[in-house]
Chain A
Amino acid sequence: MFVRTQRDNFESKVVTPGQVITADTQYMRGHGTYLNEEESSHISSVAGVVERVNKLITVRPLHTRYTGNIGDLVIGRITEVTNKRWKVDINSRQDAVLLLSAINLPGGVQRRKTEADELQMRKFFAEGDLLAAEFQGSFNDGSTSLHTRNLKYGKLRNGSLIVVPPALVQRCKTHFHTLSCGVDVTLGLNGYIWVSKHSSKNLDELDPEAIYSNDNEPVDRSTRETIARVCNCINALSRHFMCITDTIIAYAYEASLKYPVKDLLKLEAMEFVTTEVRHKLSVVRSIY
């Protein structure tokens, strides 16, 4: 029983820098915390949520760079093409690497990558290209690696990117969503979100040759408008520091229909949309 109450004390406790987390010395000092001079209490060094594993207290900062976990879906931007690998910006402390051996080749054949592949690496991904990838792991020196060995991953097309704080995107069963308004949203756990035109193609019928093509499909005006609206909704949510999931985006989208797309850049409209979402969430919660 004692343990339970202790746990409750820490759950979802938000602290600011300099705030005393606990005056109990039985705990161990973790990331984001320090001991005061008399070593009698734990103090937070960042603004964030207190987390506790057994005796270890850590504070997970709200505004921070992304730290990867194996299996995470991330969206990255190629910053450099080097020897047998790409450097990818994933909003992390350092750029991740994508090895040439960790991508699917066009044609779908599985084989060793040859020298010829090495020479045409820019045909697959060039500097600036955006891609969806999976976090593969991290090495001893702190560098991290990605892979795109799945047809779900790869180059991103027909849409635009929005950047939000990584803390707002939560880990879910799937990060590829198709909203009822007819656009696809890819939520990268690193806070990069890709909103694009819905591609109706099944993964099996996807042309394996086209996975690295540099051509957008034609996007008509109404789709473009919907994409812009979804982007602005996500932006409004992130400005008000609200969680971003497919349901919340859908709520925000519904609430936003009152305004023309470009008015969603205005502060009052953003305020209105987020209050509506909050209201809706509280209604949904009270039902369950």
Chain B
Amino acid sequence: MAPVLISALEADYILKGIDDNLRADGRGRLDYREVILETGLITQAHGSARCRLGEGTDVLVGVKVDIGTVDIDGTEEEVATVKAKRGRVVCNVECSPIASQQFAGRGADDINNELTQMMSRVLNGPQGGLNLEKLCIIPGKACWIVYIDALVLDYAGNIVDTMFMTTRAALFNTQVPKAIIHDLGDGEVEFDLSEDVEEWERIEGWEHVPISVTLNKIGSRHIVDATPLEELTTEAKLHVMVNRNGKICGIQKSGSGSIEHSLLSEMVQVHIFVI
């Protein structure tokens, strides 16, 4: 179980190791741990994936697509008309309290909310890669809603990166049933779902779904893929979401510390080396 406290002496050892480009487990500043990714584990879901990072952090993601009504609210008419032609992505992240002491009790709610928000923000927009318009079945009425449920089963640092990696894999694995639209005349439309599994198809644009690279600022340097002890030493974190073309799709900062301007741009550039 990951510790929640760190001694000043350990923090000092970690800090000096990072200055030396040699971390406590022998990695350099920009080395990732081994990633084990599996897809299609949950038969009841439309798509699923499980990712383990260095045999420690363990995230399971299930994707379920369901028919729902399109989002018709929107204060401005323009926004409303765009929304009427779109499907939606609904995210939910839950950290299992047995994974770490910090997920037990009330503390888990904040972390769950933060991660859920982060994921919905990235995936519900043009930067998310998914072609939401393709998810619409009948404009103004029915659409596909993609439910993404992430479960953090075990924690050994760097949840966010693992979560995004798993989500991307789960979306790749997702098969959406085909909807056959019948025109009944008078503008009335109806649809049936194809039973034929062969006709099911992937969500368009899954390959453009970004993954995240989290940079942890420790001292005046930054590292990727931090262990729990390194995360406790971290002053500030920067999550940079990048897609396959190396385009930045989102940046979010967390942690209480601050990041100098020069370091910030350096940290953002780093993702290119990592990927």
- A interface residue numbers (CB < 8 A to B): 77-79, 126-130, 155-161, 163, 214-216, 219, 221, 224-225, 227-229, 231-232, 235, 239, 260-262, 264-267
Known interface pairs A160-B24, A161-B10, A219-B13; 13 further A-B residue pairs with C-beta atoms within 8 A, sorted by A's residue number: A77-B3, A78-B5, A78-B7, A128-B5, A129-B8, A130-B9, A158-B9, A215-B9, A216-B9, A216-B13, A225-B26, A265-B26, A265-B27
The answer to whether A232 and B3 have CB atoms under 8 Å apart is no
Give the residues from 1 to 31 in chain B that come closer than 8 angstroms, CB to CB, to chain A: 1, 3, 5-10, 12-14, 16-17, 20, 22-28, 31
Provide the residues of chain A in CB contact with B13, threshold 8 Å: 158-160, 216, 219
Q: Which of B6, B24, B28, B34 interacts with A231 by CB under 8 Å?
A: B24
Q: In chain A, what residue has the closest Cβ to B8? A: A214
Q: In chain A, what residue has the closest Cβ to B20? A: A221
Q: In chain B, what residue has the closest Cβ to A227? A: B24
The answer to whether B9 and A129 have CB atoms under 8 Å apart is yes
Q: Which of A156, A159, A221, A235 interacts with B22 by CB under 8 Å?
A: A221
The answer to whether A156 and B9 have CB atoms under 8 Å apart is yes
Q: In chain B, what residue has the closest Cβ to A196? A: B13
Provide the residues of chain B in CB contact with A229, threshold 8 Å: 26
Provide the residues of chain A in CB contact with B7, threshold 8 Å: 77-78, 126, 128-130, 156
Provide the residues of chain B in CB contact with A265, threshold 8 Å: 25-27, 33-34, 54
Q: Which of B1, B6, B10, B24 interacts with A228 by CB under 8 Å?
A: B24
Contact count band on B? 20 to 34
How far is it, in angstroms, between the C-alpha of A158 and the C-alpha of B7 when the chains are bound? 12
Instruction: Check if B114 is an interface residue, CB within 8 A of chain A.
Output: no
Instruction: Check if B38 is an interface residue, CB within 8 A of chain A.
Output: no
Chain B positions 20 through 58: 1 when the CB is less than 8 Å from some CB of chain A, otherwise 0: 101111111001011000000000000000000011000
A160-B13, A219-B13, A267-B34 in contact; A231/B25 too (CB < 8 A)?
Answer: yes
Interchain Cβ contacts under 8 Å between A and B, 30 examples? A77-B5, A78-B7, A128-B5, A128-B6, A129-B7, A129-B8, A130-B9, A130-B10, A155-B9, A156-B7, A158-B9, A160-B13, A160-B14, A160-B229, A163-B1, A214-B8, A216-B12, A216-B13, A219-B13, A219-B16, A221-B20, A224-B22, A227-B24, A228-B22, A235-B25, A239-B55, A264-B26, A265-B26, A265-B33, A267-B55
How far is it, in angstroms, between the C-alpha of A219 and the C-alpha of B24 when the chains are bound? 12
Q: How far is the CB of B136 from chain A (nearest CB, A)?
A: 44
Q: Which of B1, B12, B20, B31 interacts with A262 by CB under 8 Å?
A: B31
The answer to whether A232 and B20 have CB atoms under 8 Å apart is no
Most buried by B among A128, A155, A215, A261: A128
How far is it, in angstroms, between the C-alpha of A159 and the C-alpha of B25 when the chains are bound? 11
Q: Which of B3, B9, B26 interacts with A261 by CB under 8 Å?
A: B26
- B interface residue numbers (CB < 8 A to A): 1, 3, 5-10, 12-14, 16-17, 20, 22-28, 31, 33-34, 54-55, 229
Q: How far is the CB of A241 from chain B (nearest CB, A)?
A: 13
How far is it, in angstroms, between the C-alpha of A264 and the C-alpha of B27 when the chains are bound? 10
Q: How far is the CB of A229 from chain B (nearest CB, A)?
A: 7
A128-B7, A262-B31 in contact; A228/B23 too (CB < 8 A)?
Answer: yes
Provide the residues of chain A in CB contact with B14, threshold 8 Å: 160
How far is it, in angstroms, between the C-alpha of A19 and the C-alpha of B28 when the chains are bound? 47
Q: How far is the CB of A219 from chain B (nearest CB, A)?
A: 7
Most buried by B among A160, A227, A261: A160
Provide the residues of chain A in CB contact with B3, threshold 8 Å: 77
The answer to whether B34 and A127 have CB atoms under 8 Å apart is no
How far is it, in angstroms, between the C-alpha of A224 and the C-alpha of B23 when the chains are bound? 8
How far is it, in angstroms, between the C-alpha of A161 and the C-alpha of B23 when the chains are bound? 13
A77-B3, A265-B34 in contact; A232/B10 too (CB < 8 A)?
Answer: no
How far is it, in angstroms, between the C-alpha of A77 and the C-alpha of B10 when the chains are bound? 11
Q: In chain B, what residue has the closest Cβ to A225? A: B22
How far is it, in angstroms, between the C-alpha of A234 and the C-alpha of B256 when the chains are bound? 34
The answer to whether A228 and B25 have CB atoms under 8 Å apart is yes
Q: In chain B, what residue has the closest Cβ to A220? A: B20
Q: How far is the CB of B179 from chain A (nearest CB, A)?
A: 43
Q: How far is the CB of A274 from chain B (nearest CB, A)?
A: 14
Most buried by A among B1, B10, B17: B10
Most buried by A among B1, B5, B6, B27: B5
Provide the residues of chain B in CB contact with A239, threshold 8 Å: 55
Q: In chain B, what residue has the closest Cβ to A128? A: B5
How far is it, in angstroms, between the C-alpha of A216 and the C-alpha of B12 when the chains are bound? 7
Q: How far is the CB of B176 from chain A (nearest CB, A)?
A: 35
How far is it, in angstroms, between the C-alpha of A239 and the C-alpha of B54 when the chains are bound? 12
Q: In chain B, what residue has the closest Cβ to A130? A: B7
Q: How far is the CB of B225 from chain A (nearest CB, A)?
A: 11
Provide the residues of chain A in CB contact with B5, threshold 8 Å: 77-79, 127-128
The answer to whether B9 and A262 have CB atoms under 8 Å apart is no
How far is it, in angstroms, between the C-alpha of A235 and the C-alpha of B1 when the chains are bound? 14
Q: How far is the CB of B175 from chain A (nearest CB, A)?
A: 31
Q: Which of A156, A157, A228 interacts with B26 by CB under 8 Å?
A: A228
Provide the residues of chain B in CB contact with A127, threshold 8 Å: 5
